[in-house]
Structure 1
Amino acid sequence: MDLPELVLRAHAAAADVAMPLTRDGTGPSCSLPGVGRFLAVLAAGCVGGTIGELGTGVGVGAAWMASAMPADCTLVTVELDQTRATAAHRVFADDPRVEVVRGDALTVLSTRAPYDLLFADGGTAEAPTLVDLLRIGGRIVSDDVTPLDLLPADSPFRTNDAKREFYFGEPRLISTEVVLPDRQNSLLVGTRVR
C-alpha cells in the first residue's frame, strides 16, 4: 500500500536521526504501519476536533493522523527530546494544522483540552489524568502492547499489566484491545463515556 506523503517525510526524518522504524527493544521507535493506519481511521472522524499526541518522536504517528484528519481539525504533538522535536518540526513545516511542541506532554496538552483523540505513545503513569483531557466520546489510544496470546506462560504481564489494568479498570472508559495485522503487536483503545 502507498504511504501518505507526510508519513514518507517522517520516515526520512527517522533515518536522519537514526530512529528505528520498528521496535527493537533498545529505545524509542516509530509508530508501526498498523498503528498508523488505525490512528488515521480515528483521526478521519475528528471533524472540527482536536487531536493530541504524547511522544512525537520524529512525527510518524502524527503524520498518519494529519494525513487523514479533516481540514478543520488541529493536532498538537509534544516531544521532550530536542533532536526528535526539531526533526518533527521539519516534517510538519508546511501544515498549519499541526503544532509540534518541545516540552512535557501532560503540561502542554492540559492547556489545550478537551480532545477528541489522544495518542498516548508511552507509559501509563499519567493515564487517569489523560482521561480528564478527553471530551465525552473522545478516544485514547496506547500502542506497544504485546498480545496476551504471545506472552510466555510465566510472563508477569499476564497478571500485572499497568496499561491493560488502566484501560479495563477505568470506569470512565469503555475499552478494547486491537491486535494489529502483524499479530505481534496490539493497541489499547478506550472511549470516554462519562
Structure 2
Amino acid sequence: MGRFLAVLAAGCAGGLIGEMGTGVGVGAAWMASVMPRDCRLVTVEMDADRVAAARRVFADEERVEVIHGDSYVELERRAPFDLLFVDGGAGDEGVGLLKIGGRVVFDDVTPVEALPADSPYREHDPKRELFFTDSRLVATEVVLPDLRNALLVGTRVR
C-alpha cells in the first residue's frame, strides 16, 4: 500500500495531496517521503491521540499539515486535490474534492475472490459501487500481492 501511494505522490509536482484518516501517519509518511519539494500534503484525523502522534512524526516537515477534525469538512476548505487517499472518513464525497485529472485511492478493500462465499459484499459493496458507477471517474481495482487486500483507484475525468 505504501509503495503504491508513494508512486502516485511522486508525480504530484506543484500539487496538493489530501488524506482522509491520518491514523498515526504511516500513509502520509510514504507520500511525504517522495512528493516533490513544491507539493503539500494535508491529512485529517478525528482521534486526538492519533493526531498528536502524527504531528510528532511531521514536526520538522513544513509541507505536511496534520489537522484534527472531520476529514470532509477540513479537506473541502482546501480542495481541489491532485491526489486523495481515503483511509477513513466520508469517502463517497471525496470525488468532488479532486481536480479534473486528480486521483483518489481507497484502501481496506477485500478482493471479491477472497470474500467468504456468503458475504453480502460479493453482490453489494458500497465502495465498489461508488467507484464503478460514478461517471466522474475512470476507475479500477488493484489487488495487492498478498491477494487478500485491494485498492480502488480512480481518476476524475469530469
Normalising by the smaller structure, the TM-score range is: over 0.9
Q: Determine helix, strand or coil for the equivalent of 2:33.
A: helix
Q: Does 1:167 align with 2:131?
A: yes
Q: Determine helix, strand or coil for the equivalent of 1:152.
A: coil
1:137-192, Cα deviation, whole Å (9 max, x unpaired): 00010000001111122210000100000000100000000011111100000100
Residue 86 of structure 1 is matched in structure 2 by 52
Please report the RMSD computed on the Cα atoms of aligned residues, expressed in angstroms: 0.9
When the two structures are superposed, what TM-score results if normalisation uses the length of structure 1? 0.80
How far off its partner does 1:135 sit? Answer: 0.3
Q: Does 1:144 align with 2:108?
A: yes
Residue 110 of structure 1 is matched in structure 2 by 76
2:28 to 49, 62, 77: 62
Distance in 1, matches of 2:37 and 2:144, equals 28
1:119-144, Cα deviation, whole Å (9 max, x unpaired): 01126x541x3111100000010000
- Structure 2 residue runs of 5 or longer lacking an equivalent are none
The one-letter code of the counterpart of 1:172 is R
Higher relative contact order (CA 8 A, sep 6+): 2
Identity of aligned residues (%): 68
Distance in 2, matches of 1:103 and 1:96, equals 19
When the two structures are superposed, what TM-score results if normalisation uses the length of structure 2? 0.97
Instruction: Name the structure where strand makes up a greater proportion of residues.
Output: 2
The one-letter code of the counterpart of 2:146 is D
Q: Determine helix, strand or coil for the equivalent of 1:57.
A: coil
Distance in 2, matches of 1:162 and 1:139, equals 19
- Structure 1 residue runs of 5 or longer lacking an equivalent are 1-34
